[in-house]
Structure 1
């Protein structure tokens, strides 16, 4: 490929290679970023959507570009309620990636917040890495399944750490001030996993971290979440008592053998419970018939005396 380039002497915008060659930003996001950075210093601030409209970015194209700029740390937003009760959204678009804390300092006008150009900014942690373009990690590094967790200091299962980290990363969708990076979420994952170990569900944990936020905004998402995780930690679950085994039941006696009932009717058998000789049906029938036809009591008949005894009584005058 042939290339012909002439450096402009006027009406140009300095573009960092970190932006032009960024692997995550699409062409719409890059053009929108460079367009806003090239505006005159005395131009009146307008919403980002209006500048996107001048470039023909509308609908999904604008929303996608805005999402990429936000995820990579170039765009930050604050939604606040004004004096008269109206909600106002303030936007900050930078040509370098900023953390939420750095963006807040830049918004408040602190000296030296982002004054140094990108080439002169000291690295945040350690020396320069292998990747020379952009500060936003590749997409595969943001995938939760590929995040290597450091070995836990306690008995927290890795599944609880992964679930807690997922909850922390999802807070950005509830409130933009709670935007966390991957490393920041890993630092707080152990404290959040302790909530899950104490019986709190992921939905309740997310609700506890996003309810009752300060009205004046959050300066540091990491500091705010760490304080809330430690201060509002619920009590540990009371372990259930060891169940007392039920008392042993006495052994069931062996079943008796079947015997033949001598009662009337066809020959039949029954299983006696004790020492009975007839089945229950025959015993019931016999009892019923005895009440209807009671057995008459025999009257004793006097036996006449022998004739010799009578003669002796007559002779003796008896």
Structure 2
């Protein structure tokens, strides 16, 4: 499963300690997966976890890798597979997050990393010197959620795979969407749906165009809240005609006296 040098010999290599492994390597030209030795020789991962990681990295995008679907393919069973998945999460080879779709349904989004921390390490690298720095580039560690979103897009849609430098440049634009209350799932949908049939030669420029032209307006600021005006009843007055108490803003006659006076007139 590892990448082989084109000049590798097709016969066992001699030398080494007696009884040790000998390799008979033939270069692969199709149907192969490149896997790093950092995974294959990982000192803290179980063989089950290493094998599962290699299997996951070989799968096409969107292939289900839930515990039940994996247990249906392999003899290890759900308990061992669940434990291996947790190992891969702990060491950065796998990320599983729960997300709620607009329909209300909750789904598990899984991302497999063939080089754990590669994007994060590039994003957290020290800023270049003033002579090398570009004014429009912000430190990507200020936009971790946006950086993860951009890195995940290339997993789901290989034509939109970005370099670490591209992720750094586009992260502020994605953050502008998130800061305006747009859910991450909506941002991904805007960036990945309706793609052209022709090859996308410059995915970073393509995504930058969509992030700029389709940016939604900012939500209006909430208006000032006003406290309700307290209503105070009119003061008590003494009727000038019958000495009856009644409420009115100013002294005068009560309603009955006013009615009697109008009838007498």
Name the TM tier (shorter chain): 0.3 to 0.5
Structure of higher CA gyration radius: 1
Q: Report the TM-score when normalising by structure 1.
A: 0.37
RCO higher in structure (CA 8 A, sep ≥6)? 1
